[in-house]
Chains A and B, each alone.
Chain A
Amino acid sequence: MAKLLVIFFGGVLLNNFILSRFLGICPFIGISQQVETAAGMSVAVIFVMGLASVVTWFFRHMILVPLGLEYLQTIAFILIIAALVQLVEMVIQKTSPTLYQALGIYLPLITTNCAVLGVTLLNVSENYNLLEAAVNGVAGASGFALAILLFAAIRERMELSEIPEALKGFPIALITAGLMSMAFLGFAGFRLEALFGVM
């Protein structure tokens, strides 16, 4: 249990996917103009990343490893993620049209979000078991959600401020993200293992 907490808080704060691992920058910059749309994207990402972690874990341990096909990992994982996103989209459309309305346009974009493929590959390289992989997926996505929501709130304020002509748009967004990343670097001082008593 304690190890799961370490993985969770590590993923959200210490190794934040956007601000310290550089995964998922495109949606982070692209879909952060408004807090509302950022929240929609976050929910969709949490859902898909948690699910993708579980499904790829089963696929790897039930099919790729027994058959000795680990080298097909990249191809298999990206196809699983693409299929999964499509499936989730269809299920949501049938069961909850309101949620589909809210998430609709963000779902297809998730396939090319490198945080999703990234988390499944990290689960493999860290040798996580099923539960740890699932927690890691949800934690990574929650970290993504935290960063994108904070960033969207800052950007809404930035609309009103005066910015030098050359820095408008993308460059100032990057610099803001850099300052946020510097703040998150402060969490590196936390010693989670000691805090939760895992040695």
Chain B
Amino acid sequence: MSFKSEFSKGIVKENPTFRMLLGMCPTMATSLAISNGLGMGLAATFVLVGSNIIISALRKVTPEKIRIPIFVVVIATFVTTVDLVMAAFLPSLHEVLGIFIPLIVVNCIIFARAEAFAFQHGIVDSLADGLGMGLGWTLALCGLSAIRELLGTGTVLAFPDFGFPGIHVFDQSLAAVMVILPPGGFITLGLLIGLLNWLTNRKSKRAQEG
């Protein structure tokens, strides 16, 4: 497959959140505001691209039996890098994301791509795959965060690290606070996946009929 198709499959067809249902914990925990979702998504994208490249480059010299511990060490190295860089340059985002940055180590998306893709494909393909999957996840996170931030606070696009207060849409007293509390995370994501399933079912039914 070409670079372009490896890249684009992660965004729509095999989207990690909506299609493969991977990495649910950080998806729900960090989708409180678009800035959080974006930060988390880009951090994971960096780790995914880095670990995919290294694992793909080492795949010929990695013994099959101990590949999992090797994956863990490679992934954990990139995660530590992101953790320290974010703590230095984006302190308030780092504060909000908290333990979910080090927890990228056990994110199943990254493991799944290392095991199912990078270990069997060349460096360029693995880079495209990592970038596509990472951005697909970032988009899903941003979409979910946008819904939760708007309904839960009445404001969108607040970026505390850049001193941007956000766009005020409606008064906070009208906002449904439950949406940014934990139950809102479960229910919003459940309904969103249900909606996408419904759309896909309808499309395939139409294709069958006509």
On whether the two chains bind one another, the answer is yes
Verify if A19 is at the interface (C-beta below 8 Å from B).
Answer: yes
Interface residues of A in 33-71 (CB under 8 A from B): 71
Chain B interface bracket (under 10, 10 to 19, 20 to 34, 35 or more):
35 or more
Q: B26, B69, B108, B186: which contacts A112 (Cβ < 8 A)?
A: B108
Verify if A177 is at the interface (C-beta below 8 Å from B).
Answer: yes
A178 close to B103 (CB less than 8 A): no
Interface residues of A in 118-141 (CB under 8 A from B): 118, 121-122, 125
Contacts of A149 in B (CB 8 A): none
19 pairs, CB–CB < 8 Å, chain A vs chain B: A19-B182, A22-B25, A73-B102, A74-B79, A75-B80, A78-B76, A112-B108, A112-B111, A114-B107, A117-B103, A118-B99, A122-B99, A165-B201, A174-B189, A175-B187, A178-B185, A181-B186, A182-B178, A185-B181
A22 close to B182 (CB less than 8 A): yes
Binary CB contact string for chain A from 5 to 44 against chain B (1 if under 8 A, 0 otherwise): 0000000000000011111111001000000000000000
Majority DSSP secondary structure for residues of A touching B: helix
Contacts of B178 in A (CB 8 A): 182
A75 CA / B76 CA spacing, docked (Å): 5
Verify if B58 is at the interface (C-beta below 8 Å from A).
Answer: no
Binary CB contact string for chain B from 178 to 210 against chain A (1 if under 8 A, 0 otherwise): 100111111101110111011001000000000
Q: In chain A, what residue has the closest Cβ to B84?
A: A71
Contacts of A174 in B (CB 8 A): 186-187, 189-190, 193
Q: In the complex where A114-B106, A118-B103 touch, is A21 in contact with B29 (Cβ < 8 A)? A: yes
Distance of A166 from chain B, by nearest CB (Å): 4
Verify if B127 is at the interface (C-beta below 8 Å from A).
Answer: no
Other than A23-B103, A178-B187, give 4 A-B pairs with Cβ distance below 8 A.
A26-B25, A121-B103, A182-B183, A185-B182
Q: In chain B, what residue has the closest Cβ to A79?
A: B72
A73 CA / B73 CA spacing, docked (Å): 12
Q: In the complex where A22-B28, A26-B108, A178-B183 touch, is A125 in contact with B72 (Cβ < 8 A)? A: no
A72 CA / B68 CA spacing, docked (Å): 19
